[in-house]
A and B are shown apart, each in its own frame.
Chain A
Amino acid sequence: MEKRSLQAFRVGVLSLLFSLIFNLGSFASSEETKKSFDPGETIMHHVMDAHEIHITKGVHIPLPCIVKAKNGFDLFSFSSFKKNESLGYLTYTSGSTGNTYFYEHGHIYLLDSEKGVMTDETGSILNEAPYDISITKNVAGMFLGIVIMFLIFLTVAKSYKTRVGKAPKGIQSLMEPLILFVRDEIAKPSIGHGYERFMPFLLTIFFFIWILNMLGLIPFLGGMNVTGNIGVTMVLALFTFVITSVNAKKGYWMHIVAPPGVPLWLLPIMVPIEILGVFSKPIVLMLRLFANITAGHIVLLSFASLIFIFAEANGPAAGFGVSIVSVAFSVFMNFLELLVAFLQAYVFTLLSALYFGMATEEAH
């Protein structure tokens, strides 16, 4: 009996540790502010971009802020923002441009020298925002992903050079099936003749999305959610859109303005639909990746948050109890997310390839 309870305790502690891993940011922030636990805010805080990497309670890695106001660029660390007691915001005054910036909910605003902080009746800030090209959490995550990509693929490329005519070995044999997968299962069937031209883009986007998807699943990295950010997916979808449009042959455009085999009276309906389709394709690409990855993060965090919700409402014992279920579901979700990470990279690449194939199809 005693043994069993000890075991349960162990499981509980272990679960708590696990949950902590998934939910670092939330735990720390709730402690800091001494407020009651707000899962919604915690989760949003996690999935949204930030100017610092939140490792654990009180441990932050400040990231460089780069902003461009009217009178020039400012480069400073996020840690330069200091609490301004009179304003109630974090502020920083630049030495070079003389601008004072203040920080509110992940955004940097310019402090008006006369009016200070201006807000409308709903509380949203009306101050001018400088162009913010800071190395945010997601940018840093993206850079990390890119470094990993370079490490992997330069090694693989070197192996191909040094091991000409030999069987693949090491990381080369890990990546080769994936490269062949993109080539033989995605590019060749979707694009057909002339697929080689699109291979570098398809491979880059596939591994870019996949690696960043998986980076987002690693705890203690500040919960970066790069591919779950609509800005990132928008750019990726735009690349697909631009490449599709640039490479499109006459047949593709003719299909839009004069769909073959459609009765004349249907054209006024069909043509707007086709034109809409041109733009809806990249938009759907953008939304699908963003929604899938963000949803995964939200679900994972929700399971972890359950522990603290129960702990707060019914005492620590309830929290321990729920943690068992929560961790079980988190583990399951993590496996599912690993699959989703690959699947979404595959789907994005496949659809891009299909659009390229449609664009380059010879008129028939």
Chain B
Amino acid sequence: MSCKLLVENLNLYYSDIQALKDINMGIDEKKITALIGPSGCGKSTFLKTINRMNDLIPGVRITGKMTLDGEDIYSSSNDVTLLRKRVGMVFQKPNPFPVSIYDNIAYGPRRHGLKNKGRLDEIVEKSLKDSAMWDEVKDKLKKSALSLSGGQQQRLCIARALAVEPEVILLDEPTSALDPISTFKIEDLMQTLKETYTVIIVTHNMQQATRVADKTAFFLLGDLIEYDETEVIFTNPQNPKTLEYVSGHFG
């Protein structure tokens, strides 16, 4: 089993508040890794360090090392736009652009310089097929993305992320704003995605973690408390704090 992403002694500070403390973990390729923990535990912050979205927040300081296929994500020679092409992200709230469905999917490839119409058509079709929504929208690609339902918008955002052919996909509570049926569809989709992509998901929903994740990491107050096979975390955790959390005693 190879580690796609390796994290060594990672610390993150918002000005003088430390949000992540000495994180060490390796994330497996083509698996689903869930990050769980109570609000404010640092799991979303950790997710955002992987595609450097934290760069956008003033006052963030990061020490330690994070490598993707052995390449240091935070080395100055690493182009952040190329990193984000390799590490896609889907957000908590569906955030389609106010343009057509087609233009949403084509957005990433176009920004990375693809102009060929035929090639773009192929990518749009493939991404929508991979996110299992081609049949729903193939007749209305020119329609506004905003006309879709919330669940469809979220799958569109996944398709949009797939269109730049990433290697890793980060999902930040992707179903927290969706109804159970849409949630089920996205969980289903994740199982297909992991055949091709390395998936990392932040979730507040512990059942979701047990349903979808191969491995689960439990964060608490900026510390990585425990990281193991999902089954172990939920049935036989080594740390009493993990047990307390997964059995619903706090958080």
Whether chain B is bound by chain A comes out as no
On B, residues with C-beta under 8 Å from A are none
